[in-house]
Structure 1
Amino acid sequence: MDTTKLLSLLRTSISSKSLLKGKLIHQKVVTLGLQNNITLCNNLINFYFSCHYYHYAKLIFKTLEDSLDLSLWNGLVAAYAKNYMFIEALEVFHMLVLHPFLKPDSYTYPSVLKACGGLGRVGYGQLIHTQLIKTGFVLDVVVASSLVGMYSKCKRFDYGIKVFDEMSETDVASWNTVISCYYQEGQAEKALELFGEMRDSGFEPNSVTLRMVISSCARLLDLERGKEIYEGFVKDGIAFDSYVGSALVDMYGKCGCLEMAREVFDQMPVSCCLECVDSRIQFKR
């Protein structure tokens, strides 16, 4: 069995979260003497994380800790951050910083910044920001967007907006994050203004954008603008999800349109958010 086939089987196991199947593949990897194959190890780490067997994932990393392949380190940091194990992510990052032959790259920092934001460690995030400026990685659009997100999570919206304003290149994620910054700062009108700039710049908003601008309209009690924006999104084929539905229910409710709010609520999936459940209770009273 070759590496390509094993990778295919491993990725299937990750999707299905089949622990037994994945362990059998892991055993086959060892039997074939491929336990030092970085690509296979990265996928094995992802597999064990998908099954919440974090200890096994760490053991795979430990056997290759002396590896000079940075992707292995980045993969573990990313897996920890994705699973909200932020302290562990920063511990691996610290080990990487101290490594005599390896240095973090642009693929390392988004996960590290996510961990800083998740822990509210803005001071550490600022130290990393300084390092990013020195290394030039701050010019990478994904890294810069992650910086904006980190400052937003830490409630330092002013810093996040400043980073965004200095970005030479932007993406939808960075626009959404800075729109959120303005909204959370209580500047709903500015958030809507930035939404207009986003569209004028040629970026296609997504459901996250829609949720933020509808929430901004709700805060301003601007029903007509909210309806106009939402109808425009519907024409563009933007997916309706429970988060967008929650924002619509909130907007209609705040603007006194309880029947419309209830109509939207009734169209939402059963797994809608608790906020909408609370709203429905209010409608029945």
Structure 2
Amino acid sequence: MKPQVSRRTFLGNTTLAGAALATSSLFASNLNTGTKKLKFALIGCGGRGNGAIKNFQDACKVLGIEPTLVGTADAFRDKALATGKRHGLAEDKCYGGFDAYHKVLAGDADFVLMATPPGFRPLHFAAAVEAGKHCFIEKPVAVDPVGARSIIATGEIAKKKGLGVVTGTQRRHSAGYRRNKALIDAGAIGDIKGGVVQWNSRVPWIKRRNDGESDADYMARNWLNFTEMSGDHIVEQHVHNIDVCLWFLGKLPVSAIGFGGRARRETGNQFDFFSVDLDFGDNIHIH
């Protein structure tokens, strides 16, 4: 019997591949100087941010690079300090507050990992590219059309600057998905005429409001459950499977119609369920 692969292992391996892909271009640019060292910083020191550090370090190991964490930033300094302490970083390189990302980007990091609530991603990405940093930006990259357009525009600037950018849509770096994509492209099952893409799960976590806590602090802590911060379930989590759909079809939908509702959520303003039909034209529908 083949060993089962846990979601945690899958996420780690595929994010590792993405990080390796991003760092490889930076590593190649350093080959002429003979250096195999890389300085990096983290913006967003929650669970995903700390996981991103591990993924990044593993990727560097694969590439023969020695990574050094040179800065952490989080809206809550205790989180930045905790992450820094785990990696031997001096306290004066651990920054707190909603403007802490400026201090990290003013440092000498070559590469910046971004894992804050995604509502902040367009702002942080634009600042990082302006500062000339290579970037890993966790999915989702934005929570609304304005943010998405900002990401696209910043991506064009990064391209002109020759900066490496990788997002957290890890399915595209998974060997299994890539193998199936190649088979479909080769005509193994013919043209895709339709399909169903689902994401069924419980609420990952909720955070209760502390006495006297400001709206900004509470929404930043409980970001997953607020549409303004996470983009809601489709954008924040289902983005992975929708990304596979768009990737395999090779095009975007021409229209979408759907509905959703909220019945059991305990905090925030997200919906509990959605049902959306994506029309890709040529009588191709994905639900």
Shorter-chain TM-score above 0.5: no
Greater strand share, 1 or 2? 2
Q: TM-score, normalised by structure 1?
A: 0.29
If asked which structure has higher relative contact order (CA below 8 Å, sep 6+), I would say 2
